Amino acid sequence: MAQRITIDPITRIEGHLRIDVEVDGGEITKAWSSGQMYRGLENILKGRDPRDAWLFTQRICGVCTTVHALASVRAVENALGLEIPLNAQLIRNMVQAIHCLHDHIVHFYALSALDWVDVVSALDADPVATAKLADSLSDWPGNSPKRFAAVKDKLKALVASGQLGPFANAYWGHSAMKLPPEANLMAVSHYLEALDYQRKATQALGIIGGKNPHIQNLGVGGVTTNLNPDNETAVTMERLYYIKQLISEVKEFVNMVYVTDVVAVGALYAEWLPYGAGVTNYLAAPDMFTDAAGTKADLPGGTVFDGDLGTMKPISSLNDSYFKENVEESIARTWYDGDWSKHPWESSTEPKYTDFEDEGRYSWIKAPRFQGKPMQVGPLAQMVVGYAQGHKLTVKSVNAVLDRISAVAGVKVGPEILHSTIGRHAARAVRAGMMADLCLDHWELLVNNIGSGDLEIFNPPTFPQGEQRGVGVHEAPRGILSHWIVIQDGKIKNYQCVVPSTWNAGPRDAAGQPGPYEASLMGNPIADPERPLEVLRTIHSFDPCIACAVHMLDPEGKEVVKVKAL
């Protein structure tokens, strides 16, 4: 008989998420994803100055800090047809790349590692054997017996104090925890080291952004980060080389520790590779533009349907109509009034709460669809799209990680394993490595441009009478983000955000098609319904961000194309 499990709150994510599953015969047979918070930020923006929108929207999320700021200024610039200076584009790219490094590291260690790593088991590890294991995987200088012994002592003291704090009453000793004690101790040590390296990334971001979370160096028309090598208040060569040093250190950590740990988890949990694919339609945005106009992207965008690389269609610029014309959001199963599907520019929002209804309405998150289909977004989507395009850096980086997993697992694995819970972690680690490379590339482009004498950072916006519509597209750490704005006589008339976690965490649509979280849980094993660790594994692999996912949109009763439920 099916058993119902409700997990509320889902912890180690941003925001308030509830997941319900039905378990039958040790497997998940039904799933519901429900956003539990609503703030109404898009309504707050109505009537305000479009130049202010990025400061408001950045507060959609402090974990995804920067991303809603970048998408917002792009949306207004797109509406005005305003090009920004090349320096501004490159500085924004560095903001994007550096934030991504911080975010991916924090996600793997602080937010998801404890689904795979048994902290208590690490107490049984031998520090010397741990160092031997770590050395077999990587040359990271931090992997010494002394370091591992110190971490073990720290853990011992914590357990002896009887105050486990955030580690209390978790999933230690769960039958799905499979790592040997030494692998667990290595991971706990890296968990602590990751806190130091994510901070280095935030320091680099601070130099450009003035502070973070929530940078304060953007504007509609460019950036305010002053580039004047001859003025003490500006970003001088000392500041630029400080950034380079910090990013180089973070890059080392990513390649020698983060990627290595993901490879180890992937190889040691090979039995998990068949789980968690869910929706295999993928959508990614192009980004990291090397030209002022936003037409030459270093990160590839596009779509792939049904996991078939042959279906790849590119999205290549900030103004690509293939993306702009094919997005709709369904509210049929949400706590909003109506049951339509609408394009974001046509949307509105009226909350209408009903409580949790399995067969009715159950979430504050809307259900975005591309050509009527649910799409998975995030680092995996970007890797799949890039791989399908033969994008050089993507192919090289993905193959390198697959080779490493094959070597540790002792079995040859190919890109097909990426359509999985573990694949999402692997893709994120690959992306972190790529972003470290791209960050340093764009640093070089910026320095060369400054060297050529170009110090321009800002093209002032002017707002004509009448109506303008724009979209700001950005590939955030959790996937494609788009802000849709309608400006009337210099004021915001409508503002809607279609966010990565809206794509992934959204509920069923009018046609009953589940969202990616829901689909990915189907068939996952559940060893102990009282401690549903497996649900956390799959949900965390998406890196949920629920503050982002919930805002408001309204569609109009358009028919949604019926397709086979996944």
Partner 1 sequence: MADTVNKTLDPQVDRRGFLKGCTMAAAALGLSDAMIPKLVEAAATAERPRVIWLHFQECTGCTETLLRGSHPDLARLILDIISLDYHETVMAAAGHQAEHNLMETVEKHPFILVVEGAIPRKDGGIYCKIAGKTAMDILAEVAPKASAIISIGTCASFGGVQAASPNPTGAAGVQDYPELVGGTPIINIPGCPPNPISFLGTILHYLTFKRLPALDSMNRPLFAYGRKIHDQCERRAHFNEGRFVEQYGDEAHKLGYCLYKVGCKGPETFANCPAVRFNDVSVWPVSVGHGCAGCTEPNFWDTMTPFYERLPNVNIPVAGIVAGADSVGKKVLGVTAAAVGIHAAVGIGKRLVKGKNDDD
Respond yes or no: is residue 14 known to be catalytic. yes
The span of 205-213, 428-436, 495-503, 513-521 binding partner 1 (CB under 8 A) equals 205-213
**Cα–chain center distance at 329:** 20
When asked if residue 265 is in the footprint of partner 1 (CB under 8 A), the reply is no
Residue 95 beta carbon to partner 1: minimum distance, rounded to whole angstroms: 11
Ranges of beta strands (E only) in 340-454 are: 341-342, 367-370
Residue 54: strand, helix, or coil? helix
Beta bridge partners of 496: 484
When asked if residue 494 is in the footprint of partner 1 (CB under 8 A), the reply is no
Among 42, 193, 548, 551, the active-site one is 548
Count how many Cα atoms sit within 13 Å of the Cα of residue 392 in the half-sphere of its side chain: 4
Residue 322 beta carbon to partner 1: minimum distance, rounded to whole angstroms: 31
Residue type, 351: P
Among 18, 33, 42, 64, the active-site one is 64
Residues 543-562 that bind partner 1 (CB under 8 A): 547
Residues 455-484 that bind partner 1 (CB under 8 A): 455-460
Q: Which of 199, 244, 469, 558 binds partner 1 (CB under 8 A)?
A: 199
Q: Which of 11, 175, 245, 448 binds partner 1 (CB under 8 A)?
A: 11
Residues 296-325 that bind partner 1 (CB under 8 A): none
Respond yes or no: is residue 64 known to be catalytic. yes
Using the structure block, give the residue that is written with the tokens 């680099």.
204
Respond yes or no: is residue 174 known to be catalytic. no
When asked if residue 9 is in the footprint of partner 1 (CB under 8 A), the reply is yes
Beta bridge partners of 485: 470, 495
CA 418/CA 385 separation, integer angstroms: 12
Q: Which of 21, 60, 259, 497 binds partner 1 (CB under 8 A)?
A: 60
When asked if residue 212 is in the footprint of partner 1 (CB under 8 A), the reply is yes
When asked if residue 213 is in the footprint of partner 1 (CB under 8 A), the reply is yes
CA 12/CA 280 separation, integer angstroms: 25
CB of 52 or CB of 346, closer to partner 1: 52
When asked if residue 452 is in the footprint of partner 1 (CB under 8 A), the reply is no
CB of 48 or CB of 313, closer to partner 1: 48
What spatial distance separates the first Cα and last Cα of the chain, rounded to whole Å?
23
CA 386/CA 392 separation, integer angstroms: 8
Respond yes or no: is residue 439 known to be catalytic. no
Hey, what are 292's tokens? 């002022």
Hey, what are 220's tokens? 């509609």
Residues 370-429 that bind partner 1 (CB under 8 A): none
The span of 173-181, 217-225, 280-288, 291-299 binding partner 1 (CB under 8 A) equals 217-225
CA 484/CA 75 separation, integer angstroms: 6
When asked if residue 168 is in the footprint of partner 1 (CB under 8 A), the reply is yes
Respond yes or no: is residue 545 known to be catalytic. yes
Angle, alpha carbons 547-325-302 (nearest 5°): 75
The span of 25-33, 162-170, 295-303, 337-345 binding partner 1 (CB under 8 A) equals 162-170
The region, left, alpha or beta by phi > 0 then psi within -120 to 50, assigned to residue 47 is left
Beta bridge partners of 497: 483
Active site residues: 14, 61, 64, 68, 478, 501, 545, 548
